[in-house]
Structure 1
Amino acid sequence: MARTLAHPASTGNHLRLGAFVAAGALLAGCSTIGTGSDDDGASEDGATTGEGGGTVVLVTHDSFALSEDVIADFESSSGLTLETQAPGDGGALVNQLILTKDSPLGDVVFGIDTTFASRAIEEGVLDPYTSPNAGPDVEALAVDDEGYLSAVDVGDVCLNIDHEWFAEEGLEEPTSLTDLTDPAYVDLVVTTNPATSSPGLAFLLATVAEFGEDGWEQYWADLSANGLKVVSGWSDAYYVDFSGPSSEGDRPIALSYASSPPYEVGEGAEEAPTGAMLDTCFRQVEYAGVLAGAANPEGAQQVIDWLLSPEVQADIPENMYVYPADSSIELPESWERFAPLPEDPYTLDPAVITENREAWIQAWTDTVIG
């Protein structure tokens, strides 16, 4: 994923939306966040060895972002130096964790999402840990009973619609997946390839959940016949082909996120020019976990406690542009107005996703790409 994209309607980088632009190559990186000492608890080769201090390495995707003050407070209170490594998007992240599990890349991971959670657990790359900060919302989003992964944030993948385009054309807006196969909406939809895009995979899973094993392939055949456009990544779909205010295209229905519309709202505007089709959303949850074989497992546990703390949960929306797992956290005002979470998003059992992911992607490719 080519991740950090400036969103014209936001005050900063729309990191989380850019986070899901999949790339074919792994993006390897390493950075030290903060000013803590690297000496405490480190061996001659740089590995962390001590308890309750030294360096803790967070393996994540490269859209991980929190306020500098929040990170500095964590380092100050814990005595740890937080270092990050970013080997790629959610899929690449899990693949790298599996490939390196005999010599782990770090101590703790953040960014394993719903579509790869079961695989990470099955491959033995994680050690169980239940944080004292894991409240009922985190528990409700758990993917297993052993505590291998703790839910940190929620990001619903949804089709976004350009309200202004439909108003100007005098065309009634579609509201459901089935509506999109109606000839009235020919050549209006752009989505992303599930083989190269995390939101594309989430949208594929939404159709599997809606139409079942016997119907989802026919749905995609019908959608394709109705002029569907498929691109490789989110940035092309949203910034190139979508007709929204910050985009350059002519297609008024594009795959994005439930949290996208606030970033299209001009200063002082009472209404958002775009909106999420809430009946098309698939719920993606991002998780954190202690890596098996971690050099600093105590530090890893402290990082998970921190990610679930009210301070970090409140910092997530405006830095990573997803919803905190803790539903009691107050959201930015614009999110309350323009980015409501769907009440009944599509979901699938992570184990079912793991079992069928590759076969579904191949079947989708055969149906849509040919």
Structure 2
Amino acid sequence: MTVLAGATACGEDSSAPSEVTLLTHDSFTLPDSVLEAFRTETGLTLKVVKSGDAGQLASTVSLTPGSPKADAVFGIDNTFASRPIEAGALESYRSPAAANGADDYAVPDSNNELTAVDRGDVCLNVDDMWYRRNNQAPPTSLRDLRDPRYAAQAALLDPSTSSPGMAFLLTTIGVFPQGWQDYWKTVSAGGADIVAGWEIAYNQLFTAGEGKGDKPIVLSYASSPAATPGTSAILDSCFRQVEYVGVLKGAKNSDGARKLVDFMLTPTVQEALPDSMYVYPVQQGTKLPDGWAQRAPVPTSTVNLPPAYIAANREVWLQQWRDAVGR
């Protein structure tokens, strides 16, 4: 548990809540100046509690309806959104600011239990510099991974332990509705590495990552090349991943949680998201960092399956995936 904002200003009503607690995933980060702005605007200290990846976060929230571990939650994505909604773990709240973009990414057939904050398109990334140095042609489509030359060069993610891994599984289901299991059998037999999480794949195995590994193809995000020069995303392999914020039902400070939802849609937060978490803001008119649009172009088309459809089939798909790759 980490306190990320300063103490509450003196002179406030001691009977009023002085802090709001946010449950989120391990990758959550915003600049201290942004968190200080929340304290300045609301008088509330923001306390952040991290709880694994998006899947673990959704499970934690879903298992504690009415008795939450925090006041608000951020980081549940569209692959898991229906789980806490169906569990009755979230309070309905629509921020007035949502009309300026967030509403465009609302969970279908919901009652404003979750509010979109950002989108990050999960795509295959390639190390273009590696291919130039080795005088090889890089893959241009996820279909190319059926060639064992490329499969053996790829670091992919286990969908049962990784949110982007689940997103890529859903991509293959969307692209190959009748043949996705054969796709995975072929890619796995071709020698693709399938690891538990993004940190291992990108920072240890990827040739352009911190660890300078030996895999020039990795599953990451369309925005990752903005942080890693010399790489690019394969834009036909993308799944739109939307992250949400919501008020937890039974929260001790539900008013503060609603203020936090509002704050996540302000320009202060929205403009900080690209550099902080390498995701795109959802609010219209948000200024992007210089060169971002060129280094991290938004895919022109993405796979986007309804959350309820994902929820109804997730466990069956995961078992079929395990059978396909021999796990």
- Residue 164 of structure 1 aligns with an amino acid whose one-letter code is M
SS across alignment from 1:175: coil
Q: Deviations over 1:135-187 (max 9, x none)?
A: 34211100034211100011111111111222233333222121211244351
Does the 8 Å CA contact 1:154/1:324 hold for their aligned counterparts? yes
- Distance in 2 of aligned mates of 1:96 and 1:297: 18
TM-score normalised by structure 2 residue count: 0.93
User: Whole-Å Cα distance in 1 between the matches of residues 154 and 161 of structure 2?
Assistant: 18
Mapped to 1, the partners of 2:128 and 2:104 lie a distance apart of 34
Does 1:242 find its partner at 2:206?
Answer: yes
Task: Look up the SS of the partner of 1:94 in the other structure.
Answer: helix
Identify the match of residue 130 of structure 1 among 89, 94, 99.
Answer: 94
Spell out, residue by residue over 1:210-262, the C-alpha distance to the aligned partner (whole angstroms, 9 max, x if none). Answer: 111x2111111111122211112212211222222644222211111112112
How many residues align? The count is: 326
Distance 1:39 1:294, change over 3 A: farther
Any conservation in 1 of the 2:123–2:239 contact (CA below 8 Å)?
yes
Partner residue of 1:188 out of 122, 131, 153: 153
Tell me the equivalent position of 1:328.
Answer: 285
Q: Structure 2: where are the runs of 5+ without partners?
A: none
Q: Which residue of 2 aligns with 1:206?
A: 171
Change (3 A) 1:42 1:125: farther
Provide the alpha-carbon RMSD of the alignment.
Answer: 2.0
Shift of 1:189: 1.3
Secondary structure of the 2:30 match is coil
Superposition deviation, residue 30 in structure 1: 4.5
User: C-alpha separation between the residues in 1 aligned to 2:201 and 2:223?
Assistant: 16
Residue of structure 2 equivalent to 1:280: 237
Q: What is the distance in 1 between the residues matched to 2:311 and 2:25?
A: 20
Alpha-carbon spacing, 1:280–1:128, altered in 2? closer, same or farther (3 Å): same
Contact kept? 1:161, 1:277, Cα under 8 Å: yes
Identity within the alignment, %: 46
The whole-number CA distance in structure 2 between the counterparts of 1:143 and 1:67 is 28
**1:215 and 2:179 matched:** yes
Q: Residue in 2 aligned with 1:33? A: 5
The answer as to whether partners of 1:37 and 1:81 remain within 8 angstroms in 2 is no
Please say if residues 33 and 84 of structure 1, whose CA atoms lie closer than 8 Å, have aligned partners that are also in contact.
no
How much does 1:304 deviate? 0.5
How does 1:57-96 map onto structure 2 within 5 Å?
57-96=21-60
Structure 1's 32 and 332: CA in aligned 2 closer, same or farther, altered over 3 A?
closer
Tell me the secondary structure at the aligned position of residue 271 of structure 2. Answer: helix
User: Relative to structure 1, is the Cα distance of residues 68 and 355 closer, same or farther in structure 2, using a 3 angstrom cutoff?
Assistant: same
State which drifts further: 121-130 or 167-176: 167-176
